[in-house]
Every structure is written in structure tokens, then in C-alpha cells.
Structure 1
Amino acid sequence: MEQKEVTFQTGRVLLISICHFIHDVYSSFLAPLLPFIIEKFSLSLTQAGFLTTAMQIPALLNPMIGKLADRTSFRYFIILAPVLTAVPMSLLGLAPNYGVLMILLFVTGISVSLFHVPAPTMVYRVSGAKTGRGMSFYMTGGELARTVGPLAITAAVALLGFDNYYPIMVAGIFASTIMYFKLKDIPVAPKQKKSVSIRETCRRMQSLLLPLSAIVVVRGFMHGSLAAFLPLYIIQKTNDVWLAGLSLSVLEAAGVVGVLTIGTLSDRFGRKRMLLLSLVLAPIFLLLFVYSNGWFRFPVLIVTGFFLLSTTPVMLAMIQEYSVDGSSSANGVFMMISFLARSATVVLIGFIADHLGLEKTYLLCSGIGFLGIPFILKLPGKGEKSEELFEVPTNAG
């Protein structure tokens, strides 16, 4: 196994992070565009919901995309993804019918996977000994995009109209062009000479993937309840639409700071310690949020978002460090699990809220949050890698 380069390549890490931002700005367009799409094509809410599903279905292919990335020079997946996402998302206003909309969004979903599955592996390769810092920069790009994207597309439609906003694809084309010249020489040739099956990848990493999957599910209840229903909860409590919108922005902004901070600190204080800190404090402050009143809710919400949304770069760093020289296959499996957990928990949270109300649902979700603590303790330490993890069996397929 090759020794990992110890130098933190700041320029390349920042470039990948900026391209993550540009890419995810485009992939965040669907929700703010739905009112225009529904009006133009006279869609029912069910049909509108299927558009989101069409974009998300390719996430089920993440493990296979990861395996393909491990067997090829995956730099071109990352280089091409911004343009492959920008073009279809910029053409939604020109789609002649519902079927074409579905195709454009399905293509976008594939591109999203092509970028997000191998990108953490590239970040790992260029972060040297500071994987947590690299993942923090990378995830900050994605978190910022979810804040800026809806504003950008709303402004574009306001200026150009829904049928004519397609010129904004230029930014994605430019990003891919810059990525090509800056990353075409980065050493990302496959380091595994023999193919390893997805099943074998799961078997080798089960001591890490199993507790991480449980943590993702537990965290999903807290995250999903806030991301999906926070504005509604604030409206129920205050009847103030402006405060409801501000609350979600406050949560996301706190998450950006948390992502940048906790991932970086995990390089110094350890992945498990920072995960434990985040997933102990997040449910505590979610409880305080439910019982707080007036403007005091916002400082509590800031702390909740800081710790709750900050865990992803730590988990991505762990996946890369415990895989074979940074594995896209392992990241693909983890991303598929995250997608399934996120989709299932939001539906379940909605069902619970229909029966118990949002306040009791938040209390329940914060209680579930504490269940993640034993799984953090089961995570292997950084020095506990098994030699078996790095052996490629002769019968791997």
C-alpha cells in the first residue's frame, strides 16, 4: 500500500470545494422551480413529487458508481459533473412535456452521484494528514450551495423568465473547464489491482459501516424533523411567517460553521471524540429548543444546528481512512445508506407528527438522538485497522 502524502494541498482542496458549491447550487434548483413547473404543465402535487423521486432514484446506484470509480481514473467523474448537472437543470424551463422533465431530472440524479461518490476520495487524496479539515472545506461548499441555490434560481427566473433562464448553465460549464485544467494531472489512478465486490467492501468495513449506519439513522430523526418541519413548527408557535423562514436560514448557517469547525477539530482531537461531543449536545439543545420561548429560541437553534449538521465531514473522513487508500466504493455504500435512512425517517417523522403533533415529535426525536451514543462507542479507533481490510482476496469479484 502506498504511503499517503502528508501535505495538505490547499489549492486543490479549495478548488474541489468551490466546484462542490457550484455543482450543488444547480442541484438545489428543483424545489424553488416547482411552482413554475406545476403551473406550466398543470401538474398535480403527486406528479410534482415524482419529479423529486426521479432525481433521487440514481442514489441507489451509488455503490456501483463507487466500484466503477475505484476501477478507473475517477477524476473525470468529478470534472464533468458540474456541466452534466448544470445543463439539464438549466433546461427545465424549455422542456416540452412531463416526460422530458423526468428524463432531465434523472440525468441530473446520475450526475449528482457521479460527483458525490468519488469527490470525498479525491479530497482525501489531497488533504494529506488533515483529512478532517479537507472534508470540512468540501462539505462547507455543499452547505452553502443549499442556501445560495434557491436565491440564485429565483433571481434568474425573475430577471429572465422561467422559459429563458437557461444561460445560467455557463457557470457549470466554466467550472468543469477549470477543473479539467487544474485536476487532469492529479494522481487518482486506481490503487487496487484486482476488483473488489461491493459485498466484499461491506464485509471488510462492517465494523465501521454498521455503527455509522445506526448513527446516520438516529441523527436522521433529529435532522429530518428540523429540515422538513421547522418553519411549520415556528408558524404554529408564533404565527410569524418571517420568523419561520429565518429559522431555517439560521439552522443552515449554523450548520455551515459547524461543518467547517468540527471536521477540522477532529484532526486534532479524534473522530470519535468529536462525533460523541456533537451527538451528545445536539439532542440536549433540541430539547432546550422545544422548551424555549421568544427570541431565546434562536441562540438555542444556532447551537443545535452547529452540532447536528457538523457530523458529516467527520464520518466521511472515517470512511476514507478505514478504506483501501481512500475508497469510492465504501463511500458509495455509505451514501446509499444515508439516502435510504434520510428518505425513510422523514416519512416516519411526518406520520408521527400527524398523530402526536410537532412538539411531542421533537421531544421524541431528541430522545432518539441519545440512542446514537452507544454506537459511537462501538466505532473502531483510528489505530484499530485490521490487515484484512487492506488485503485483496484472489477470488474477489
Structure 2
Amino acid sequence: MNTAKIQYSKIGIISIAHMLNDLYSNYLPQMLPFLVVLYQGFTATRAAIVVSAFSITSSFTQPLFGYFMDRQGKRWLAYIGTLWMATMLSLTGLVQNYFLLVVLAALAGLGTAVFHPQASAMVNRLSMDRKAVILSVFVAFGNFGFALGPLLLVPLFQTFGLSATVVTIIPGIIVALLLFLFSPQDQTSANVPPTLGVVFKTLRASAKELTAIVGVIAVRSLAYTGLLTILPLYFKYKSLSNIQASHLVTIMLAAGAIGGVIGGFISDYFGRKQLIIGSLILSTPLFFAFLLTNGILSTVFLALAGAALLSSFSVTVVAAQEAIPDNKALAAGITMGFAGGLGSLAVVIIGRIGDVFGLPAAVAVLFGLPIIAGFLGFFMKNRQPARLQRQTG
């Protein structure tokens, strides 16, 4: 297939949109230290509920949107979803009621639930025969967006207060406009889209493999979402300023974005399963090394741990798409949505551990989770990378 036909400019627009989308996805955790001041008795459990409300709606509805997009491919869902999320989140700093805050968080999650399956399907279609590598870059843009969240939002809230959330709708409007103008047109195909019965038959045939992938992602997501929720509170407990804490979280996430690209390349050479198992098992000792050291060395270990934790992010998406190749948007919805939602749902338990046993105990539990995810990876099917298939074919 001719790689010259890859539409890099449109992939770039979608990737930039993904970066902003995931910056918004890391929006609520950056508000938590400020919400402690705003709401009396704002516990770690309450903080976890706010973050989980967003994560649950953004995650569990993604497979449904993914199935719909495999059949319809409506590009407008990508820019409407982005604008919807930006609008809901821009209102969170204006409400003074905890229940309304949770409702806004849940509504905002629907925006990213719409965006991710549609955007990943667009990238898959535009990437021609470079799908794995370009998807890893697309995912890396999202991870960089996550990393920018603390760097941009914490100083904004620190300087102007939570009422400044209202101005954060502006980037969402700009990116929605870019997607409206430059995203690819709706896909037209002569092929009849799979019926729901066919989809269920495909899922049953791949159930064992998908269950292993979902298990890996769920535990990894619990660690990831838990760290985004608990680390800002833990750093505040350790008497770090909000700015210092945001820098540490940014370093971890930026390293994770780089690790995601590297992981995509490594998995093409050595296999998805090998990369997933090795990187996740490695990240746990790196996280504990961060706790046991100080200064620059401690920061280096945190960066390496973040890179190891997220190096399998795009790889698990590709692994699911290889398991059900005729339902790529659905596969993206299952991996980037449903499986992640299972992990996010359990973040409330981590918050409760923090309230009962202390934040250091909650952090220690989170640091131990990646090694469990790595061992779950042993139950995945060991598919030979396409590069090796061509060499041995």
C-alpha cells in the first residue's frame, strides 16, 4: 500500500484535538487541592468520587459510541464531543454545591466518550499501512495533553481562583472549529456494517483474549487514575506547594507520553504481549524507588516509572484491534473506555484507603498495582508482530 497517501495534515489536526481532549480529561484532578479549601470536609473519598464520576461516564459509554461509529462514522461527533466537554468543565469552578459538581463532572465525561472512538477510527483510516506507529503518536499527543494539565491549570487556578474555569472553554471552541473545518469527511463504504448479532459473535470468539486485555487495562487504569487523584493530595500532605506538585505530576505524565511512543516501536519488534508484561512489572520497583530516594534522583525514578507505566497505553489498543479487526472503533471503545472505566470505578476504594489508613498507604497500594497488571498480561495471546510475520512469511 502506498504510504504517500497517508493524510498527515488531517492526522495532525486530530492528534492536536486529542491533546486538548486529554488535557480536559486531566482537568478535575488539578482542581482537587483548591476544592479542599472551597468545600468543608472535602475528603480523599469525595475527591475520588468527583474524578470517578467523569471517568465512569467517559469510559462505560465508549463501547456503545464505538459500535455506533463503526456503523455510521459521523465525524461531527468528534467536534461536538470536544465542545460539550469544554463547556461542562468550564462551569465546574462556578458552582458552590458538591452534588452539582459531581453532575457536571459526569456530563463532561460524555464528551470524551464520544471523541475517542471516532477520533481513533479516523486516525486508523487515514494511516494506511502505518497504523501502529501513527496510533502510538496519536496516543502520545493525548498523554502530552494529560501532562500539560497540571502545568497550565494549577497556575491558572492559583492566580485567579476556580472562577477562572470559565475561560477554559476558549481552547475547546478553537479545536472544535478546527475539527469542523479539517477533519475527514464521513466514511462511505460499500461494505455492509456488522449487525449487533455479528458483533456479539465476534466478541464471543475473542472473549478469552479480550478479557485478558481488559484485565490488564483495568488494573493499569486504576493505578493511573488513582495516581492522578491521590498524588496531588499526597504532595500537599508532604507540604509541597501546588506548583511543585504540578511540576512532579507533569514530569511523570510527559515521560509517560514519550514512553508510549517508544513502547509502540518496541512492540512492533518484540510483540505486544512482551512489551505489556515487561513494562508494567518494571514500573512498580521504579515507583517505590521514587519514594525511597530524594532530590533529582527521586524525580528521575518518577519519570522512568511514568514512562514504564504508560508505554503499553497504545499497545493495548492495537492488541484489541488485532483481536477484533473488523470492529476497530468498538475495540478502541472497549480499551480506551470500558476497561479504563472498570479501573476508574475502583478509585473510590483507593480514596477510602487514604482516609482510613493515610495517604502514604494509598500511594503504596497504587505503586504496587502495575506489577499485578503485568502478571495479568501472561494470559494474553502471544501474537507475532506484523514485521516478523513478513520476515518469516
TM range (shorter): 0.7 to 0.9
What is the deviation of 1:293? Answer: 4.8
Segments of structure 1 that go 5 or more residues without pairing to the other structure are 386-397
Q: Which residue of 1 aligns with 2:129?
A: 129
Residues 6/382 of structure 1: CA separation in 2 closer, same or farther (3 Å cut): farther
Whether 2:54 is the aligned partner of 1:55: answer yes
Say how many residue pairs are matched: 380
What is the deviation of 1:190? Answer: 9.1
Asked if 1 retains the 8 angstrom alpha-carbon contact of 2:63 and 2:338, the reply is yes
Q: Which residue of 2 aligns with 1:286?
A: 287
Q: Which residue of 1 aligns with 2:12?
A: 14
CA–CA distance in 2 between the matches of 1:288 and 1:4? 46
**Structure 2 residue identity aligned to 1:328:** A
User: What are the Cα deviations for residues 74-107 of structure 1, in whole angstroms up to 9, with x where unaligned?
Assistant: 3222132221222222234555866765554333
Secondary structure of the corresponding residue to residue 196 of structure 2: coil
CA–CA distance in 1 between the matches of 2:279 and 2:91? 40
CA–CA distance in 2 between the matches of 1:225 and 1:84? 25
Q: Which residue of 1 aligns with 2:333?
A: 332
**Structure 1 residue identity aligned to 2:267:** S
Pairwise mapping of residues 74-89 of structure 1 onto structure 2 (< 5 A)? 74-89=74-89
Residues 98/255 of structure 1: CA separation in 2 closer, same or farther (3 Å cut): closer
What is the deviation of 1:54? Answer: 4.1
CA–CA distance in 2 between the matches of 1:354 and 1:97? 25
Residues 53/358 of structure 1: CA separation in 2 closer, same or farther (3 Å cut): closer
TM-score normalised according to structure 1 size: 0.77
- My pick for the range that moved more, 19-28 or 45-54, is 45-54
CA–CA distance in 1 between the matches of 2:110 and 2:362? 38
CA RMSD of superposed structures (Å): 4.0
CA–CA distance in 1 between the matches of 2:362 and 2:105? 36
Asked if 2 retains the 8 angstrom alpha-carbon contact of 1:224 and 1:349, the reply is no
Pairwise mapping of residues 364-383 of structure 1 onto structure 2 (< 5 A)? 369-382=370-383
Q: Which residue of 1 aligns with 2:316?
A: 315
CA–CA distance in 1 between the matches of 2:272 and 2:6? 18
CA–CA distance in 2 between the matches of 1:288 and 1:96? 40
CA–CA distance in 2 between the matches of 1:167 and 1:149? 15
Asked if 2 retains the 8 angstrom alpha-carbon contact of 1:77 and 1:114, the reply is yes
**Structure 2 residue identity aligned to 1:11:** S
Asked if 2 retains the 8 angstrom alpha-carbon contact of 1:51 and 1:101, the reply is yes
**Structure 2 residue identity aligned to 1:45:** F
**Structure 2 residue identity aligned to 1:205:** S
CA–CA distance in 1 between the matches of 2:338 and 2:236? 33
Larger Rg: 1
Q: Which residue of 1 aligns with 2:250?
A: 249
What is the deviation of 1:187? Answer: 3.0
Residue number among 42, 46, 56 corresponding to 1:45 in the alignment = 42
Pairwise mapping of residues 107-256 of structure 1 onto structure 2 (< 5 A)? 107-154=107-154, 162-163=162-163, 166-185=166-185, 187=187, 192-197=192-197, 199-220=200-221, 222-223=223-224, 226-230=227-231, 245-256=246-257
Residues 99/4 of structure 1: CA separation in 2 closer, same or farther (3 Å cut): farther
Q: Which residue of 1 aligns with 2:298?
A: 297
**Structure 1 residue identity aligned to 2:12:** L
Secondary structure of the corresponding residue to residue 118 of structure 1: helix
**Structure 1 residue identity aligned to 2:176:** S
**Structure 1 residue identity aligned to 2:208:** S
What is the deviation of 1:36? Answer: 6.5
Asked if 1 retains the 8 angstrom alpha-carbon contact of 2:33 and 2:236, the reply is no
TM-score normalised according to structure 2 size: 0.78
Q: Which residue of 1 aligns with 2:265?
A: 264
Asked if 2 retains the 8 angstrom alpha-carbon contact of 1:73 and 1:189, the reply is no
Secondary structure of the corresponding residue to residue 247 of structure 1: helix
